[in-house]
Chain A
């Protein structure tokens, strides 16, 4: 299993009290952050690029889910 998948799975296991939050949306945002974060840690991407990328993707996601 790749590092990203292991971390995603650990984080998802901690999502137990999400209340009214959409689990699928939570999962998508979590994946998005983790994949970018691993790329930054592995020096494949800068912090700034990763944040801009996630931000854009978040707007897409929340536009779709509006």
Chain B
């Protein structure tokens, strides 16, 4: 069986009429938070069963009361007084025939007062119609509401397993309670023939009882020892009277045990939470201490850095000054060297010696070239000038020359230390850098710590909200409750043991008495029909018991295998220790065990737990399809909220491969780009998903409300 089309009209967030064609295999309906995914899931479920799921209330029936829950707010608002409106969902289904299931509710607006109040509306009618073509090709309409409802449950989708096959992600814990085998046992009974086997056994037992009684009556008339026969017969009747009350008591005590197990489980969870709270508090305190230390360290570094920082800036300035100074010194040195040899004669000022210059002036003859000259001639004046410099100004020059030489020596000394000065200046830079790096590291750690503390605070807040602020004060109270209930459970267990032993003893006694009764000879010595019947019935009853046990074990193994197969396929994206899903045969408790330690549970996180539950649900549904030789479309809203991206996609792939049809509403497969959520089309292509629809909000562009916006369906692949 698979769905080919859904039409929604004025249903919840869907205004007017919207429809999509559905295909075999996987159909993905993508929508961000609040787009209308859960409302579409509700449309499927309401169409078949007249119920919707609300996060705050769980499953709710919608009919002559609570009808506004299915109507679109925009249409409720826009409807005029005395005007009628309809909400309608139509599903087209392909199975052994082409079916159409149509459900609608019609209401009338009584006045223009608050449109959200049912008292301002009149319920007119609800109609459910199942239509199909019969073998002669004539259209059959089952339009009686109750007949149509029964037809759906019997022929299309059994109500008992509907919540597994059409599965609301939020109800996952109700469907499969890992720590309590009852929900799983119920699911097993729903999907398999185990319930039928139980009934077979019950009927065979009642039949045996009845025929045994008839046989006793027959034999009583025919017995050779009436007194003995009556004595044993009364004993049998007495035992038969006693046994049901013991059995009832055992049944009630077993229920008590289940209830107390649930109470212990709840306290255990609360104690776990309290322990978690205490652990978190300790962790927070440790982190706070680390944060304090780091803040102190940061402060120290900050101070150090502020000192270094000013030094650093001075150094930068000094560096520039030094560079400038060195350049000037180089210029000076160059000038000095150039000017050393830069006088008009090209000779040092003390050459020739002034005494020779005096003689040249007295003798009017140049000693250098040997030429004579006239007094006051140009040559005379030149030598006289030189003599004056050499005698009068020479001392000054000598002094200047000496000072310049000293300066020059200093310059040379400074310049020779240039690289040392530079390296001293530069050596401070790495210090600053190293300090800055350390400080950045500390700041990073500080951010990490603050983030960790914030997360822990959130977790603490959640736990406090869940258990009240006196969470640790409750610890002792809860612990006492836990111990009390454990003791009570032990008492109940002992009671069950005693009752079971008594029932066993009484049954053995009954069996013995029956054998004794059979040994008393009859007068006619004939074989009674009832005796023969009972021989066959005992054999059949025994076979029923054995077959039930064997079928049950086979079924559990099949579910385990299928669930593990799905688990392996969906977790191959991650290199993690997945363990193996194991179902305890006695308690039906589902465990995830480590492959190296088959007796021990594995520590599992929320993602693993969700995945494990989904693997079990899918395995149950697939095996149910197999058992009942029918395939149902698997429809689910938000099944993958707790899973990572890769696992989510692989899970969809499994659904695509395993189910004839699966319809998944999900907020996954979106990516954040340019300030908004957009469909991650690359991911869709990678996995070759073929039937993909987007659910988007339309209507008002800002300040969206339920009565000014509505959901739209669009096929994108």
Contact = CB atoms under 8 A, between A and B. Distances in A.
Interface of A: 1, 3, 6-7, 10-11, 14-15, 18, 21, 25-26, 29-30, 33-34, 36-38, 40-41, 47, 50-51, 54-55, 58-59, 62-63, 66
Contacts of B628: 3
A14 B543 CA distance: 6
Contact of B203 (A7, A25, A50, A59): A50
B539 A21 contact: yes
Interface residues of B, number: 29
B200 A62 contact: no
Given A18-B539, A25-B536, A26-B536, A51 B529 contact: no
A29 B197 CA distance: 15
Contacts of A21: 535-536, 539
B533 interface: yes
Contacts of B199: 37-38, 40-41
**Chain A interface mostly helix, strand, loop or mixed?**
helix
B195 interface: yes
**Chain B interface mostly helix, strand, loop or mixed?**
helix
Contacts of B496: none
B389 interface: no
A59 B539 CA distance: 17
B544 interface: yes
Nearest to A62: B529
Q: Chain A CB within 10 Å — which of B197, B204, B210, B543 has the most?
A: B543
A40 B539 CA distance: 22
B565 interface: no
B343 interface: no
B203 A26 contact: no
Contacts of A7: 193, 196-197, 200
B717 interface: no
Given A26-B540, A55-B207, 5 more contacts: A7-B193, A41-B199, A47-B203, A58-B207, A62-B532
24 contacts: A6-B193, A7-B193, A14-B543, A14-B546, A15-B539, A18-B539, A26-B536, A26-B540, A29-B537, A29-B540, A30-B540, A33-B200, A34-B196, A37-B199, A37-B200, A40-B203, A51-B206, A51-B210, A54-B207, A55-B207, A59-B529, A62-B529, A62-B532, A66-B529
Contact of A15 (B206, B529, B543): B543
A51 B539 contact: no
A55 B398 CA distance: 151
A26 to B, nearest CB: 6
B211 interface: yes
B536 A47 contact: no
B478 interface: no
B245 to A, nearest CB: 20
Interface of B: 193, 195-197, 199-200, 202-204, 206-207, 210-211, 529, 532-533, 535-537, 539-540, 543-544, 546-547, 550-551, 628-629
Contacts of B529: 59, 62-63, 66
Contacts of A11: 200, 540, 543-544, 547
A10 B204 contact: no
A11 B544 CA distance: 7
Nearest to B551: A10
Q: Chain A CB within 10 Å — which of B195, B197, B199, B210 has the most?
A: B199
A21 B629 CA distance: 33
7 pairs of A and B residues whose beta carbons are closest in the complex: A62-B529, A37-B199, A37-B200, A14-B543, A41-B199, A14-B547, A37-B203
A21 to B, nearest CB: 6
B537 A51 contact: no
A12 to B, nearest CB: 9
Contacts of B206: 47, 51
A29 B193 CA distance: 19
Contacts of A34: 196, 200
A14 B547 CA distance: 7
Given A33-B204, A59-B529, A26 B539 contact: yes
Nearest to A15: B543
A63 B530 CA distance: 11
A3 B193 contact: yes
A7 B533 CA distance: 21
Contact of B196 (A3, A47, A66): A3
A55 B535 CA distance: 14
B207 A33 contact: yes
A47 B197 CA distance: 14
A58 B200 contact: no
A7 B211 CA distance: 24
A11 B197 CA distance: 10
A51 B213 CA distance: 14
Contacts of B207: 33, 51, 54-55, 58
Nearest to B543: A14
Contacts of A14: 543, 546-547, 550
A60 to B, nearest CB: 10
B539 A62 contact: no
B623 to A, nearest CB: 14
A11 to B, nearest CB: 5
Nearest to B627: A6
A47 B198 CA distance: 13
Contacts of A18: 539
A17 B171 CA distance: 47
Given A21-B539, A55-B211, A36 B533 contact: no
Contacts of B196: 3, 7, 34, 37-38, 41
Given A1-B629, A10-B547, A55-B211, A33 B539 contact: no
Contact of A36 (B203, B537, B544, B550): B203
Q: Chain B CB within 10 Å — which of A15, A21, A26, A33 has the most?
A: A33
A18 B197 CA distance: 20
Given A21-B535, A51-B207, A51-B210, A33 B540 contact: yes
B647 to A, nearest CB: 36
Contacts of B629: 1
Nearest to A48: B206
Contacts of B533: 58, 62
A31 to B, nearest CB: 11
A14 to B, nearest CB: 5
Nearest to A42: B154
A16 B629 CA distance: 27
B144 to A, nearest CB: 19
B533 to A, nearest CB: 5
Q: Chain A CB within 10 Å — which of B532, B536, B628, B629 has the most?
A: B536
Q: Chain B CB within 10 Å — which of A11, A18, A38 has the most?
A: A11
A8 to B, nearest CB: 10
B641 to A, nearest CB: 36
A65 to B, nearest CB: 8
A37 to B, nearest CB: 4
Contact of B210 (A37, A40, A55): A55
